[in-house]
């Protein structure tokens, strides 16, 4: 059975801290791994990773995928209160000629001023 | 970025009512749309995958007669919760995607059944 596990489940840090969020997976027919940020409503897209070892960066956020060890990390440096959210990892898998997404449990991040 | 519109954002209705939720991709033709359900403080649970012009593929444990999905065009999918009961109360989110591109989400519908 396909499985996506995120750790930690929750995290409280102070502004300026650096955080590392982990997403481990066991899936068949992997296509890509995606990171999303969810605040009050729907998730917003952060990164899409398909190849191992290539870091993707956007401002203070960066992410990398390890397809051999089956995990990805999302780093946030110099955290701000606006980074408080649930961070979701999703695996895109192919199935019966189409594709779908399997979401991890999420990591709830709270950044204190 | 891609825009997906979901309507309504909030529904409160009596038990036994059927509720229709619309999901539209506004600036691209989506090959596939997805419907998720999210319980409080939990992750997104995929309910079904919807491709234009074909029957939706439901995940295990999701009742297809209870959650009717229609994907009439490349820009519109609807989810109808039939004869809704209090246990159907939840946050429902749709997404739309093109093959090889990340999915983009609607703002979700909070459904409350009294």
pLDDT tens, residue by residue, B91-109 = 999 999 887 788 999 999 9
**How many Å apart are CA B96 and CA A13, to the nearest integer?**
34
Task: Give contacts of A88 with chain B, Cβ < 8 Å.
Answer: 43-44
Q: Which of A5, A41, A49, A50 to mutate to probe the B interface, most B CBs <10 Å?
A: A41
Q: Which of B4, B36, B43, B62 to mutate to probe the A interface, most A CBs <10 Å?
A: B43
**How many Å apart are CA A80 and CA A61, to the nearest integer?**
12
B35-46 mean pLDDT: 92
**How many Å apart are CA A94 and CA A100, to the nearest integer?**
6
Q: What is the percent of chain A with per-residue pLDDT over 70, rounded to a whole number?
A: 100
Chain B contact for A110, CB < 8 A? Answer: no
Inter-chain residue contact B107 with A41, CB threshold 8 Å: yes
**How many Å apart are CA B49 and CA A100, to the nearest integer?**
7
pLDDT at A97 over 80: no
**Which of residues B79 and A94 earns the better pLDDT score?**
B79
Confidence band of B2 (pLDDT split at 50, 70, 90):
low
**How many Å apart are CA A21 and CA A73, to the nearest integer?**
5
Half-sphere exposure of B101 (CA within 13 A, CB side): 16
Mean pLDDT of chain A: 94
Question: Quick one: pLDDT at residue A42?
Answer: 86
């Amino acid at each position: 059975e396909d499985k996506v596990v995120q750790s930690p489940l929750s995290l409280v840090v102070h502004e300026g801290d650096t955080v590392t969020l982990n997403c481990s997976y066991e899936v068949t027919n992997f296509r890509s791994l995606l990171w999303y940020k969810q605040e009050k409503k729907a998730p917003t897209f952060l990164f899409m990773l398909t190849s191992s070892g290539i870091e993707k960066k956007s401002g203070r956020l960066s992410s990398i995928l390890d397809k051999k060890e089956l995990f990805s990390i999302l780093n946030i440096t110099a955290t701000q209160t606006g980074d408080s959210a649930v961070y979701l990892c999703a695996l895109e898998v192919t199935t019966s000629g189409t594709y779908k997404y399997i979401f991890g449990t999420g990591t709830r991040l709270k950044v204190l001023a | 970025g891609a825009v997906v519109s979901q309507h309504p954002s909030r529904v409160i209705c009596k038990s036994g009512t059927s509720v229709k939720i619309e999901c539209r991709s506004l600036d691209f033709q989506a090959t596939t749309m997805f419907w998720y359900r999210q319980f409080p403080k939990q992750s997104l649970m995929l309910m079904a995958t919807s491709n234009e012009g074909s029957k939706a593929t439901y995940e295990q444990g999701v009742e297809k007669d209870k959650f009717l999905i229609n994907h009439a065009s490349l820009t519109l999918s609807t989810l109808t919760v039939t004869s809704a009961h209090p246990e159907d109360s939840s946050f429902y989110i749709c997404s739309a995607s093109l093959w090889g591109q990340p999915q983009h989400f609607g703002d979700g519908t909070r459904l409350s059944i009294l």
